[in-house]
Amino acid sequence: MVKTDEVLKRLDGFTIEIPSWGFADTGTRFGKFFQDAAAATIDEKFADAGHVHALTGCCPTVAVHGLWDFKKDQSPREVAALARRHGVRVGSINPNVFQDQQYKWGSIANRSAEIRKMAADHIIESVRIGQAVGSNVLSIWLGDGLNYPGQGDIIARKRWVAQALKAVHATMPAKMTMLLEYKPFEPAFYATDIADWGMALLLCKAAGKQARVLVDTGHHYPSVNIEQIVAWLLDEGMLGGFHFNDRKYADDDLTMGSIDPYQTFRIFHEIENHRFRTGKDPALAYMVDQSHNLKPKIEAMLQTVDMAQQLYAKACLVDRKELALAQGREDLVASESIVRDAFLTDVRPLLAQWRKAHKLPIDTMAAHRESRYEARAAAERRACHGPKAGGGYA
Ligand code: AFD
Ligand code: MN
Ligand code: MN
C-alpha cells in the first residue's frame, strides 16, 4: 500500500505549465465567442496565470507564443519582468510558423528555400528569446503538410524539415531542450510532415542530442494507445514532455480529464512505472495546451490543474510491488484491480491535505469565484480595450 505521505511528497514536486493562449479569446474555424474577461495582452495573460498559480501553487511557468506574446515594442526581458511581477516565469517558447501568409505552402518544409530560411530564422529567434527570458524549453509544432496526393514530394519535405531542425538545434545553448510535437492532421488533411511519434523521434535523433519528443494528448487518432507510446519514448530516453488536453474526436483541446480521465491516468501510470523501474524521475515538461472557447478561461484552467494533480496523485497510489507480484503469477484480475482501484480512489481529501499544508485554498474554484477576479478583469478590460467586434469565421 502506498503511504499518503509518499504521495504528498510527490505532489510537492508536481508542477504543470499553463499556456498564455489559454487565457485569450479563442475559437474554431467557424468563429470566436468573445469573453469580456479574456486576456488581450501578455500582461493580462500573466496576471491571469499568476492568479491561477496563487490559487493552485503548482503553475509557476507560462508557455508563451513567439508571435502572439512578443511584440516589437517590448523586449523579451521586459516580458520576463512582467511575468515575475505577476508571480510567474516564462516557460516554453512556442515559435509560430503556421499562420502568416508566407507559410501557405509550408514553413521549414516549404519548396522555397527562402521561405524555409525565414521560418528557420523565426525559430532561431525563439531560441534567442528563450535565452533572453531564461527559458530552457523550445517547443516546436509545425502545421506543415499536404492536402492532396501529388501536391508535394514527401521525402524532399522530410529532408528539408530535418535540415532546418538540425540548424536550429545547433544554435541552442547547452541547457536548452528542443521539444518536437507531432500531429496526425490539421491544418494539413492528407499528409502532415510530422504526423506521428516515429517521425518526431527520427527527426529528434537527426536534430541533435538536446531534442526530445513532445506528446500532445489530443494529437492521436481515437484508437491509439498513447500510454504505450509514452512508455516506449521514456524507455528510449526520448520523451520531453506533454501538452495535456482532452478530446472526443480530434485535437479538440478540451479540458484535461473531462472526457476520458482514465486515459490521462494511464499516461501518468506509465511514467510512474518508468520511475519505479529506473529509480529515476524523468525530467518531463508537463504543460497544458487547451483552447477554452466556451468555458470562462480561468475556471477552465483551474479545473485542468485540479484534474492534473488528482490524476497524478492517483497514479502515484499504484502499489507497484504488489502489481509486479500479481503480474508474475498471471493474476489478471488482481493486476487490473491494483491499477484500476488506484484510479478509482478519491484523492480529493489528500489534495485538501496538501493544499492546507501549503496554505492554499482547499477549493480553488470557490476561492476564485469569491475573489470576483473575473468580474474585475472584465470591467477593466472592457474599459481598456472597448467592445470586441467580429467573431465570425476565424
Ligand atoms: C495547436 C496545435 C498544437 C500546438 C498549439 C500551440 O495543434 O497543439 O502545440 O496549437 O501552438 O493546438
Ligand atoms: Mn500542442
Ligand atoms: Mn493541438
- Does residue 226 contact residue 215 with C-beta atoms inside 8 Å? yes
pLDDT at 49: 98
Contacts with 166 (C-beta within 8 Å, 6 or more apart), sequence order: 206, 207, 208
Give the closest ligand to the alpha carbon of residue 63: 1
Q: Look at ligand 1, atom 7, and give the residue with the nearest C-alpha.
A: 251
Measured from the CA of 21, which atom of ligand 1 is nearest? 6
Hey, which bits of the chain come out as E strands? 18-19, 27-28, 31-32, 61-65, 89-94, 137-140, 145-146, 177-181, 191-192, 211-216, 239-244, 285-288
Q: How far is the CA of 13 from the centre of ligand 2 (A)?
A: 23
Cβ distance 49 to 91 under 8 Å?
no
pLDDT for the residue 392: 67
Instruction: Enumerate residues with CB within 5 Å of ligand 2 (an ion).
Output: 216, 243, 289
Regarding the beta carbon of 289 and ligand 1, being less than 6 Å apart is answered yes
Say if CB 88 and CB 46 are below 8 A apart: yes
Predicted local distance difference test score (pLDDT) of residue 394: 52
The residue written with cell numbers 519548396 in the block is: 111
Q: Is 216 in the pocket of ligand 1 (CB under 6 A)?
A: yes
Helical segments of 150-260, H only: 154-171, 197-207, 226-235
Q: Is the CB of 45 under 6 A from ligand 1?
A: no
Residue 220 near ligand 1, beta carbon < 6 Å: no
List the alpha helices (DSSP H) in 15-112.
Answer: 42-56, 76-85
Q: Grid coordinates 499553463 are at which residue?
A: 18
Ligand 1 pocket check for 103: Cβ under 6 Å = no
Determine the Cα angle at 89 with ends 88 and 90, to 5°: 135
Closest ligand 1 atom to the C-alpha of 94? Answer: 11
What is the Cα 68 distance to its own chain's centre? 17
Specify the pLDDT at position 393. Answer: 65
Domains of the chain: 4-385 (3.20.20.150)
* pLDDT on residue 271: 98
| Residue 328 to residues 272, 273, 323, 342, Cα–Cα distance (Å) | 19, 15, 8, 19
Question: Does ligand 1 lie within 6 Å of residue 197's CB atom?
Answer: no
Please identify which residue in the block is written with the cell numbers 470586441: 388
Query: Residue 166 is placed in which grid cell?
Result: 538540425
pTM above 0.95, yes or no: yes
- Is the CB of 69 inside a 6 Å radius of any atom of ligand 1? no
Nearest ligand, CA of residue 19?
Answer: 1
Per-residue pLDDT of the chain (394 residues; tens, 9 = 90+): 778 899 999 999 999 999 999 999 999 999 999 999 999 999 999 999 999 999 999 999 999 998 889 988 899 999 999 999 999 999 999 999 999 999 999 999 999 999 999 999 999 999 999 999 999 999 999 999 999 999 999 999 999 999 999 999 999 999 999 999 999 999 999 999 999 999 999 999 999 999 999 999 999 999 999 999 999 999 999 999 999 999 999 999 999 999 999 999 999 999 999 999 999 999 999 999 999 999 999 999 999 999 999 999 999 999 999 999 999 999 999 999 999 999 999 999 999 999 999 999 999 999 999 999 999 999 999 999 998 887 766 5
Give the mutation target among 93, 243, 246 for probing the ligand 1 site: most ligand atoms within 8 A of CB.
243
